[in-house]
């Protein structure tokens, strides 16, 4: 089950459509849907988590906690809607497109994709773009 939560009143548009799209991503990656929670928050909230849990004193757009077991994809994806909005401006894309990119990015981590090396980043971006085109 994919759920959407907020710490600051943000509401995702078309949650049923977005949930179905994310479930199709998981299916196409030959995984099963477990419990995936998206938590939309502000910069302050996510920065605090970044410091507390990852020892990173920086702003970020997404932090994901992976609870996947075997092929059952589960986890918590925290997304700063403030960072998404600023990144959308920086990358000259719509807020919705950037939000969906970050959402699928977190999910792809649970499916086994990394983004630490240059090669991993290229693969991750290609997967993001592939699934964004399938919304």
Q: Which domains does the chain possess?
A: 2-132 (3.40.390.30)
Instruction: Report how far residue 59's alpha carbon sits from residue 45's, in angstroms, rounded to the nearest whole number.
Output: 10
For residues 113 and 106, what is the distance between their CA atoms, to the nearest angstrom? 9
pLDDT of residue 56: 87
SS3 state of residue 102: helix
The answer to whether the annotation marks 56 as part of a ligand binding site is: no
Query: Strands 72-80 and 62-66, how do they pair?
Result: antiparallel
* 43 marked as binding residue: no
Q: What is the pLDDT of residues 84-99, one digit of tens each?
A: 999 999 999 999 999 9
Tens digit of each residue's pLDDT (9 = 90 or more) over 111-124: 999 999 999 999 99
pLDDT in tens, 8-27: 999 999 999 999 999 999 99
30 is in an annotated binding site: no
Q: Are 63 and 46 within 8 A, CB to CB?
A: yes
């Amino acid at each position: 089950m994919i759920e959407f939560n907020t710490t600051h009143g943000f509401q995702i548009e078309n949650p049923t459509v977005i949930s179905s799209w994310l479930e199709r991503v998981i299916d196409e990656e030959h995984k099963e849907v477990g419990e995936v929670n998206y938590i939309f928050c502000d910069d302050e909230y996510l920065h605090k988590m970044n410091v507390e849990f990852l020892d990173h004193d920086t702003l970020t757009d997404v932090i994901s906690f992976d609870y996947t077991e075997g092929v059952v994809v589960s986890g918590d994806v925290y997304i700063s809607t403030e960072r998404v909005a600023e990144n959308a401006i920086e990358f000259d894309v719509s807020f919705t497109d950037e939000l969906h990119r970050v959402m699928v990015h977190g999910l792809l981590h649970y499916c086994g994709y990394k983004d630490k090396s240059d090669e991993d980043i290229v693969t991750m971006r290609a997967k993001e773009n592939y699934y964004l085109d399938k919304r």
